[in-house]
Amino acid sequence: MTIPNIVGAGLIVIGAGLGIGRIGGQAMEAIARQPEASGKIQTAMLIAAALIEGIGFAALFAA
Amino acid sequence: MLKEISTKAFALFLLMLSFGMNAQEEVHEIAPQHEGDKDLKTEIKDYINHHLQDSYDFSLYSYEENGEHHYVGFPLPVILWDDGLKIFSSSKLNHGESVAEVDGNYYKVFHGKIYKTDAQGTINLDEEHHATNEKPLDFSFTKNIFVIFAVSLFMVLMFASMAKSYKKNPLPSGMGRFLEPLVLFIRDDIAIPNIGKKHYRKYMGFLLTVFFFVWIINLLGLTPLGVNVTNNIAVTFALALMTYLLTTFTANKNYWKHIFWMPGVPWPMKIILAPIELLGTFIKPFSLMIRLYANITAGHIVLMSIIGLMFIFKNWLGSSLSFGLAFVLALLELLVAALQAYIFTMLSALYFGMAKEEHHDH
């Protein structure tokens, strides 16, 4: 592992973490506003989080 | 009063911690084992790599006695195509330590792959440390395949007996009590909302199978059996390929129209969008494959590295810390095992739903 690889992996993790964190936070807020829609919000949240995670892993493998 | 005591106890605890650390440091000063430490690290790395690989036998663990390796487990058949079918037990390969002789040909395992060698088992290496020996076509019944077959058999037996019990009595009994809510969850929360009431029944078989298969195999990966099937990219490739084929071959006219001639956008956009959308149909199952593979691989590597830390720290503080961390991570992996099965099923259902979407006005 060279230094650019390590820095790249770090950047990827920061990016993916920010993305998933934002999704989770917004979903929490949405559930708080509309508790009756929590099931739908959770599903949408998991899908979005999974998509970001997929991109993150693809980038990690490239790095 | 109580507060004072607890403060004292805490201070005492801290003091003990610092003593423990100091004692350890002194030992290191007396005997600096930098060489040994490095060897240990490479050994742990090799062990993790070995765990992530498929193998020709099913062994639970190995131990050393009188300079000899002993393995606890059983061998599996090796099937090679090398100018004719060659079938022999993997005990002949002896975990890569000896050369197997079959019909006048010699085979040896090198870095988890079978190569054709001479009687002494010489492996020729090029500059990049890759073997240049001839490789026979390998159709071996490896550990991963063994586990896949075992899990499939287990699932067939379990669900067949469940189906039988439902024919006698509509109330769930035995395993059905535990699995009925899961089956209903997949039907009511995954299949129907994503695919729609009209078409969902056709896909239920695949969705249920893939969910329980991935889940059971992920859970098996957390047991000390040392099984890890879903972190073999070929397995997740096959699973994703099934989703891709089902999506492609059950898709209706509307789906293809949305790919090649997107309605509702100006015509130059249609030409630009067509290749992107076509690429998208491949990227969707590709991301399914990578997601499952990468999640499980990452989980296994992190868990095993933390367990490996115990052998690097070699003091009670570090070891107990890494034990606690490994315990918590193992619990997290339990969640990940179920979550990845859920996500795989969910996204498959989503893609099937896209393929079956009826025409509506945008």
Most B CBs within 10 Å, among A41, A53, A55, A60, to test the B interface: A53
Considering only CA atoms, which of B21, B341, B333 is closest in space to residue B151? B341
The whole-number pLDDT of residue A18 equals: 94
Q: What is the ipTM of this complex?
A: 0.71
Across the interface, of A39, A43, A57, the residue whose CB is closest to B291 is A57
Rounded-to-integer distance, Cα B58 and Cα B55, Å: 7
Name residues whose C-beta falls within 8 Å of residue B89's C-beta, 6 or more positions apart in sequence: B75, B76, B77, B78
- Which helix (H) or strand (E) segment holds residue B257: the answer is helix B253-260
Rounded-to-integer distance, Cα B125 and Cα B119, Å: 17
Cβ contacts from A onto B, under 8 A: 32
Residues B290, A61: C-beta atoms closer than 8 Å: yes
Between residues 4 and 23 of chain B, which touch chain A (CB distance below 8 Å)? none
Residues B290, A58: C-beta atoms closer than 8 Å: yes
- A53 contact residues in B (CB cutoff 8 A): 291, 295
Across the interface, of A47, A55, A58, the residue whose CB is closest to B346 is A47
Average of pLDDT values for B63-79?
A: 76
B233 touches chain A (CB under 8 A): no
Distance from CA of A29 to the nearest CA of B (A): 22
Rounded-to-integer distance, Cα B298 and Cα B300, Å: 5
* Average predicted confidence (pLDDT) for chain B: 80
Rounded-to-integer distance, Cα A26 and Cα A10, Å: 24
- A51 contact residues in B (CB cutoff 8 A): 287
Residues A53, B347: C-beta atoms closer than 8 Å: no
Residues B294, A47: C-beta atoms closer than 8 Å: no
Most A CBs within 10 Å, among B284, B286, B287, B350, to test the A interface: B287
Residues B290, A51: C-beta atoms closer than 8 Å: no
Between residues 19 and 58 of chain A, which touch chain B (CB distance below 8 Å)? 39, 43, 46-47, 50-51, 53-55, 57-58
Strand order in the sheet with B85-89: B85-89, B77-81, B137-138
Confidence of residue B25 (pLDDT cuts 50, 70, 90): very low
Each residue of A24-37: pLDDT tens digit? 999 999 999 999 98
Asked whether residue B108 carries a pLDDT value surpassing 50, the answer given is yes
Span A16-62 CATH architecture:
Up-down Bundle (1.20)
Q: Please report, as a single letter, which amino acid is at residue B178.
A: F
Each residue of B261-270: pLDDT tens digit? 888 888 888 8
For chain B, the structural domain boundaries read 2-20+145-356, 55-141
- A63 contact residues in B (CB cutoff 8 A): none
Residue B137, classed as helix, strand or coil, is: strand
Q: What are phi and psi of B83, to 5 degrees?
A: 55, 55
- A43 contact residues in B (CB cutoff 8 A): 189, 193, 346
- B343 contact residues in A (CB cutoff 8 A): 46-47, 50
Distance from CA of B274 to the nearest CA of A (A): 22
Each residue of B121-164: pLDDT tens digit? 677 777 777 777 777 777 888 888 889 999 999 999 998 888 88
Among chain B residues, the shortest Cα distance to A53 is held by B291
Each residue of B261-311: pLDDT tens digit? 888 888 888 888 888 888 888 888 988 888 888 888 888 888 888 888 888
The whole-number pLDDT of residue B295 equals: 86
